[in-house]
Structure 1
């Protein structure tokens, strides 16, 4: 792990991620603060999905899921830099497309219910509602990043693959469901995120650039 950390620092990987994250947050803050008309994303299917506060558990687990997945591919994936870059570029592409869509098509949702009760789950949902505005929700980054992490894990070869793959799929499904049952996202947000991930997957994981032989001759060949 120390060897990989030294290599990551030496080649500026952490710096690139940090710069992207800073630019992303600055742009996202600008988008959130704009005084523009937001197109409401709302379908009749959304009205049929009941609110369920217990889905706050998988919703919050998303943060840990993404962080642990990136950490694993960065430090513990047997020097398979190809898979690490595929994951990072997929995540970065999805988040960048999200910013572009939000810039050109300001959007929001009106699905959130009036919360009652004082359970720990309700309080957690209230915290999310308070910190995360119901604007710029299309597509769902929760869904896109979950699918990106799940796809990377399913393709990865490692010990205990069957059990960890099963846990990964179950968690991904629960996270996707949580976005709708917590009224954080419309079905439209979820579907668009899934379609966007499918397109990114076909390009990033299916392109000849990412074949093992071609990767050795790419700009990252010294890390393979």
Structure 2
């Protein structure tokens, strides 16, 4: 088999990679918002936010979010096409809703500490995060929403459910990531609740709807053989 045939075979095998083209829509839109939503935005705040302490050590799971989401996407991309499509549908729909909300209702936070009580490598990492990431466009939290989306996909994977340690590790990491968004003052409790609500709502359309169709189709097939 020559290189041309191998390349054609890989393209056919991984043709579902077209889904990643969504990044060409998301990134320019998001960068535009980050650049232009700097003043006159709706401040998201809850009284509970003021009771949550700043804990710099949560920077570790917060940054692991990038590895976590990438790993889940790649796993489904290479092993489970149907699961990959469902994961992408859930994630990218939620991310688009996030962009629409941020466009129609510019929002941001005033939760970040003015000064830090401690000085260590974790605080330095938080300072770097604050410089790179503006405190705007926060509702709902994509860190939370995408973590929930990854957990939903893992839960619905028959192959992954056999590996309880992997599943438990993923769920624990997702929980730490969600907590990190609040303990690092990157998100309000309101952002987190909004992410849970959006994940639950989209879950009904992406996963529950298809699950309910399976028994119905099975009954129709059984009747057809009678």
Please indicate the TM-score interval, normalised by the length of the shorter structure. 0.7 to 0.9
Alignment gaps of 5+ in structure 1:
216-224
Q: Is the 8 A contact 1:5 1:75 kept in 2?
A: no
Question: How much has 1:207 moved relative to structure 2?
Answer: 1.2
Whether 1:26 aligns to 2:28 is yes
Question: How much has 1:14 moved relative to structure 2?
Answer: 2.8
Partners of 2:155 and 2:176 in 1: CA distance? 17
Partners of 1:128 and 1:184 in 2: CA distance? 10
Match of 2:181 in 1: 179
Q: Is the 8 A contact 1:4 1:75 kept in 2?
A: no
Map residues 52-63 of structure 1 onto 2, 5 A cutoff. 52-63=55-66
Partners of 1:64 and 1:5 in 2: CA distance? 25
Taking structure 1 as the reference length, the TM-score comes to 0.85
Partners of 2:88 and 2:135 in 1: CA distance? 27
Q: 1:118-148 CA deviation, whole Å, 9 max, x = no partner? A: 4211111111101100011000000000000
Match of 2:171 in 1: 169
Match of 1:204 in 2: 206
Q: Is the 8 A contact 1:110 1:134 kept in 2?
A: yes
Match of 2:84 in 1: 84
Aligned residues: 208
SS at match of 2:208: coil
Q: Is the 8 A contact 2:19 2:88 kept in 1?
A: no
Change in 2 beyond 3 A, CA 1:212/1:7? farther
Higher helix share: 2
Change in 2 beyond 3 A, CA 1:124/1:27? same
Partners of 2:125 and 2:194 in 1: CA distance? 27
Alignment gaps of 5+ in structure 2:
1-6, 218-226
Larger CA Rg, structure 1 vs 2: 2
Match of 1:139 in 2: 140
Taking structure 2 as the reference length, the TM-score comes to 0.84
Moved over 6 A (4+): none
Partners of 1:181 and 1:5 in 2: CA distance? 44
